[in-house]
Structure 1
């Protein structure tokens, strides 16, 4: 007996139908599971390889799309930096305009320092405007290239500008200003006084009295103010018309020497910055008065004890722009301490008095001048000092003069124009990258959609196919059952 089992034709046909249906169902189920109608080159070589090419290009563009996004962030970081720098430059311009509103060198120097601080902030902002190590505001080595297609034939190069050094002529061209360095000086406070009574022997003289009426002066005498070395500093020859007032005027004509006369008592008070002698040198050769001048050694000393000051004098303190800081009117009770405090009251100026040397030291952050309407002020060695006490600063601030400020304002205006132009350029580049980014997104979608049309399965269709195949399978199973039952009827004969 052979090993082969023989099936009836009907059963075999039904089995083949079931196998075919099962194969078809497996294919449909695979399509539904993967969502693809072409899963390999075996399914449809043409569609498979065409779709693979489209998907490959889509993936390449997707990678470039990520790079575009990073480029956008780099440009945005630079644009935000420029906006902030623009605000700071406008603040610097405001400082320059504020400096123009005042003539005070001290205030201008403070504005110059604030201006420099703003330039430092501008440089810091430029240095901080980087994104992932790329900074379009940091100059060389920071150019940005954005590629738009897979073979790099379409791209945009953005050149970096250097704002990290505000002084660069290719950038903002804004240099730090000199903030100024002050200076110092000192002047001597000294003096002495003596009195001499003008009398004719029985009564005192007055200003209109003739000098020849004096018991100590005769016609032909030369009334001289002599220095300690005996040199005549002023001289008045007495004749029959010379009055007491003429002698007072002659004494007052000597720098650093002052004469005061009391009409009621006939007392002539002579005050001098230097040792001096008042003599009538002709017939009498008499020493009328001697002044021994000494350095002031106490803050409480009154200024009128010096030939440099008299009651009613006005001292004025001005800076190098002739800006008046303030003034002090001298009276009989004004002391060295009052003068020291007056000078120290102003910003950027300090005064101190040395009680050992009698020198008043002044330090100033700017040029400074202490002047008086008294021609004898600060006279030394019987020589007038027309300029008063002056300090010339070692260097003036960059805002010291109006012309200096105006030049800075012009540079600031140019810098603002530069920034606005650069911001516009970055804005254009930003728009270009955004437009190409949107285009690339659309192109990727088109490529993916095209690939899908070639490979994606129609789930509705495949679902209907699966349902039909399931029905066919059930029918085939039923038919197989009928065929088997027909074969079994033979057994009923036995």
Structure 2
């Protein structure tokens, strides 16, 4: 295609209009992006310098997160030290309380309990047994031992009966007497006496021939056999005239005996036998124990240092071998370790356990400066500026403290040693708190500096690349005016070229 020939005026105005359009496009781009340097083509020096500044600002911005974590880690450690210090001070207060408590106290020990041993022998329970002294022999001795009409009177426990013997069936008993058939042998005579005796007394007495002697046994351990008389008495029993139960000393008692707050009542329906007495002694209250010992004497003992008083009817006391009066325990006073100090040991050990747990819980984001972890804080993008913070072990062992034994505060010298260790621990805590505080101040200062540095870098980059919107707006307005003027000038130049048409 052949070029179109333009006049000099038209071409000049056209070029001016094109330049104005290019400048307007550039200005509009700056207004739209806010940058006067959008690429290396706009200004290589400013573009690459700003890019370098922004890169460094971004690197420092990423470091701020780790610096912030370091700040929180130090704050967590400082909080832990403050809490541990409070616990150590509580332990000091506990030790001082123990120190103010007397080391020993008086302890009363019972060396001998209150006791009384009866002087009388308490015999075993056994029924009264009356054994005749006349030896009877022969199968028909019943008719030969007694004569027709002879009598035998027996009193058992207050019930009396008179037997009248009939040897040949011809005897008629006197009024009130009980007839006994004596025509047979002695065994049958004994059986007849037993039957009739039981009918009269209502008891369970036994009558038998033992070793050739007539034996009468009472039915219980309290009944006596007495009043043996009659014309047949010597023939059947010889000189035996009475028998008592072996516990007659108890069965004969009446009235009361007092032991402390306990009352023992004797007599019918109450204490009548040794077994009854043993039961009553076994039921004593008020810290008193009672029994009948192996020597058959009453043994009374107060427990845990208790005293007791024995009283009651003098006859009863004499029969039992007891003495009226008050029995006191023998005591002694010794100095023993104050048990309150052991309670302070328990409190102290609980505080030590809490110190250990608190030291384990003072970490942040996996780093615990109180449990031996170290922390390294990087402040610049190439890692050449750092702060190394060494951790410590601030559990009870790391502070030079330990659990105490049960007797760990018994001696005043032990308490002094504990207080010295606590003072040393307090000094260590305060010194480390100061060191961590200094480290925290450094980290916070570097954090503020890094933030300011980032702002400086970003501001410098912006100064190199940001557009002045006011200026660019004014430029666009001026270019729009120029564009209108250029269009008008181009139109006028075109009209001048058209004047040649008037010649035709």
TM-score, with normalisation over the residues of structure 2? 0.51
Q: CA deviation at 1:490?
A: 5.5
Q: Which has the higher contact order (CA 8 A, sep 6+)?
A: 2
Residue in 2 that maps onto 1:277: none
Q: Which has the larger radius of gyration?
A: 2
Residue in 2 that maps onto 1:166: 396
Alignment of 1:322-361 (within 5 A): none
Residue in 2 that maps onto 1:261: none
Q: Which of 443, 462, 476 is the equivalent residue of 1:452?
A: 462
Alignment of 1:250-399 (within 5 A): 397-399=407-409
* Gaps in structure 2 of 5+ consecutive residues: 105-337
Q: Distance in 2 between matches of 1:486 and 1:66?
A: 72
Deviations 1:416-474 (A, max 9, x none): 00000000000000001111112222222222222222222222222221121111112
Alignment of 1:95-174 (within 5 A): 95-103=94-102, 105-139=338-372, 142-163=373-394, 165-167=395-397, 171-174=398-401
Q: Distance in 2 between matches of 1:108 and 1:488?
A: 124
Residue in 1 that maps onto 2:21: 22
Q: Secondary structure at the match of 2:441?
A: helix
Residue in 2 that maps onto 1:89: 88
Q: Distance in 1 between matches of 2:36 and 2:486?
A: 26
Q: Distance in 2 between matches of 1:76 and 1:172?
A: 20
Alignment of 1:27-66 (within 5 A): 27-66=26-65
Q: Distance in 2 between matches of 1:456 and 1:59?
A: 18
Q: Distance in 1 between matches of 2:5 and 2:339?
A: 122
Q: CA deviation at 1:94?
A: 0.7
Deviations 1:285-342 (A, max 9, x none): xxxxxxxxxxxxxxxxxxxxxxxxxxxxxxxxxxxxxxxxxxxxxxxxxxxxxxxxxx
Q: Which of 404, 423, 428 is the equivalent residue of 1:177?
A: 404
Q: Secondary structure at the match of 2:388?
A: strand
Deviations 1:83-111 (A, max 9, x none): 11101111111111111121263221111
Q: Distance in 2 between matches of 1:40 and 1:57?
A: 19
Deviations 1:128-183 (A, max 9, x none): 111111111111xx2000111222221110000012x312xxx21110112x3xxx
Alignment of 1:412-431 (within 5 A): 412-431=422-441
Q: Distance in 2 between matches of 1:10 and 1:107?
A: 118
Alignment of 1:476 with 2:492, yes or no, is: no
Q: What is the RMSD computed on CA atoms of the aligned residues?
A: 2.0
TM-score, with normalisation over the residues of structure 1? 0.52
Q: CA deviation at 1:28?
A: 1.4
Q: Distance in 2 between matches of 1:472 and 1:125?
A: 78
Residue in 2 that maps onto 1:334: none
Q: Secondary structure at the match of 2:440?
A: helix
Q: Distance in 1 between matches of 2:4 and 2:353?
A: 100
* Gaps in structure 1 of 5+ consecutive residues: 181-396
